[in-house]
Chains A and B, each alone.
Chain A
Amino acid sequence: MKARAFSYFRAATIDQALDAHARAGDDARFIAGGQSLVPALSLRLQAPRLLIDITHIAEMRGVRREGGFLRIGALTRHCEMLSEPLIAEFAPLLHAAAPFVAHPAIRNRGTFGGSVALADPASEFPAMTLALDAEIEIAGSSGTRRIKADDFFLDLFETALQPGELITAIHIPLFKADQRFAFDELARRRGDYALVGCGMLATCAGDHIDDIRISFFSVGNIPTRVKGAEAALIGSSLDAERIAAAQVALESDLAPPDSDEVPPAMRLHLARVLLGRLLGRLRDGA
C-alpha cells in the first residue's frame, strides 16, 4: 500500500520545524527515523498533508554531559545507543535495552526521541525513561520545558506532548558507582515486540537496596512503574523473601489487558518470572 499524497519540508532548525507545524496545524506530522511513521502512512492509518523532516536539525543531535545528567539528543539513533561510549558509561540501562529494539537495519534509522514520542507501550525505551527517572526536554511555540518521565506517559499512545511540540532531548541522571541495573524481555522471536519486558535501576549499599525503580513494558496501555514491588524491596537486603514479596506485589501493580493471544493471568505470570530473574541478577551483581 502507498501513502496518501503529502508535501515535504526539511527543517534546518527547531524554530523552522515548529513554525511549519503551526502553519499546517493538525495536518502536519514530524518525521524522524520514520520506522513507525512510514508504515502508518503506507497503511493510511495517518494521512497528513505535510511531512516535516526533523532529522537535519543539528540542535537535536549529539550526546553530552550536562550537570548531573547525560543529555541525549532526540535524534540519537538506536544503533548509537550501542556504539556511543558516553551512553555505555552513564546510561548503561539504555545500552542494555538497545539490542532488543527491532532489527539492526531499523536501529540504523529509528531515533530515541521518536520512540519516546510515539510512546508505544510495547517499546523498550519509553519504559526505560521511567526506570531511569529521565526528564524529557520539549520545545513548543511558547518555549522550552522539561517534564519528568513519570508525568509524560498518559494513555495508549498519548503523552504530555501538545500538538506541534517537539521532543528535543532526553536527560538521564548520570549512572553512579553505587548503582546497579538489569534489563530483559520475553519475546517469541528476537526482534519481535516483547510479551513482557522489564528494566530496573537500583541504588545499593552492598546487598541493601536504598532505592529502586522498576519499569515494565508490554503489560498495559502505558509503560508502567511497579511501585508496590519497589516498596517491597526498598530498605532491606535483596534476599529470597524480599524477591518473593516483590513478585506478589505485581498483582496489584499491573493490570495486563485481556487478549486472546496472551491471557492476563499468563502475562502476569511471565512478569513475575522476569522480575524474579532480574532481581536475582541484581543481587548477584551480574
Chain B
Amino acid sequence: MSGFDESLLDEVDETVRVRFVVNGRKVACEVAPRETLVDCLRNALELTGTHAGCEMGACGACLVQIDGRAVHSCLMFAVQADGAEINTIEGLTESGVIADLQAEFHRRNALQCGFCTPGMLVNAQELLSQVAEPSREDIRDALSGNCCRCTGYEAIVDAIDAVAKARREAGGTP
C-alpha cells in the first residue's frame, strides 16, 4: 500500500492540520494547502513582522528561518513546513541573537520606512553565520535578493559590516 488517499483528489478545498515550532513554541493550525507560509504566519499566527512584498521570491521581505536557514516564506506552502522549526523576526528579536544587528541598523539609520528591514536582518544573520569575515562585496552579494524600496543600501551594508567586525572581535560567535 502506498498510503495515498484517493479522496485527496476530490476535496481540493479541504484544510489540513499542520504543526510547527514557531519561535520556540509549539503551534498547530488549520491551513488550506494553497496557503503560503507567509500568509499563515501573518494571518493565522498574527506574526506580522514577516512582510509580504512581491510574493514571487524577488524582494526578500518575507524571509524567515526554517530549521536554522533563511528561506522565503512566500515560496513555500504552510503544509510543506509541517514539523519544521521556524523562527520569525519576532522570535529572533526575543532571543536576542540579532540584538547587535538591530542596534547597528538603528544607530546608522539603515532604514527609512522599514518595510524591508525584517528580511534584511534575517539575511544579515544568515550571512554572518555562514561567512566569518565577509567583505563589503560579499555583503552586497548576499543582499542581492533583498529589495529596499527606500534605497537605504549604503547604510545597511555599513551596519552589517560593523556587526561582522564587532562579532569577530568578540570571538566570532555567529
Interface residue ranges, A against B (CB under 8 Å): 1-10, 12, 15-16, 19-20, 23-24, 27, 31, 34-35, 38-39, 41-43, 49-51, 53, 55, 79, 102-106, 108-109, 189-191
Q: How far is the CB of A90 from chain B (nearest CB, A)?
A: 23
CB contacts (< 8 Å) of B166 on chain A: these are none
Which residue of the partner chain, among A1, A31, A102, A106, contacts B80 with CB atoms under 8 Å? A31
Given contacts A7-B9, A103-B145, A105-B126, contact A42 B56 (CB under 8 A): yes
Task: Assess whether A39 is in contact with B2, with CB atoms less than 8 Å apart.
Answer: no
Main SS at interface, chain A: mixed
Residue B51 lies at the interface, judged by CB distance under 8 Å to chain A: no
Main SS at interface, chain B: mixed
- Give the CA-CA distance A275 to B140 in the complex, in Å: 27
Task: Assess whether B75 is in contact with A35, with CB atoms less than 8 Å apart.
Answer: yes
CB contacts (< 8 Å) of A108 on chain B: these are 69-71
26 pairs, A vs B, C-beta closer than 8 Å: A2-B34, A5-B13, A7-B11, A9-B5, A9-B8, A10-B79, A16-B2, A16-B4, A20-B4, A34-B76, A35-B57, A39-B56, A41-B34, A42-B36, A42-B56, A42-B74, A51-B33, A51-B77, A53-B80, A103-B142, A104-B127, A105-B69, A106-B75, A109-B71, A190-B140, A190-B144
In this complex, the member of A5, A6, A104, A106 whose beta carbon has the largest number of chain B beta carbons within 10 angstroms is A104
Interface residue ranges, B against A (CB under 8 Å): 2-6, 8-9, 11-14, 16, 32-34, 36, 55-57, 60, 63, 69-72, 74-77, 79-80, 82, 123, 126-127, 130, 140-142, 144-146
- Give the CA-CA distance A274 to B71 in the complex, in Å: 32
- Give the CA-CA distance A104 to B140 in the complex, in Å: 12
Which residue of the partner chain, among B63, B80, B142, contacts A34 with CB atoms under 8 Å? B80
Q: How far is the CB of B153 from chain A (nearest CB, A)?
A: 12
- Give the CA-CA distance A4 to B13 in the complex, in Å: 10
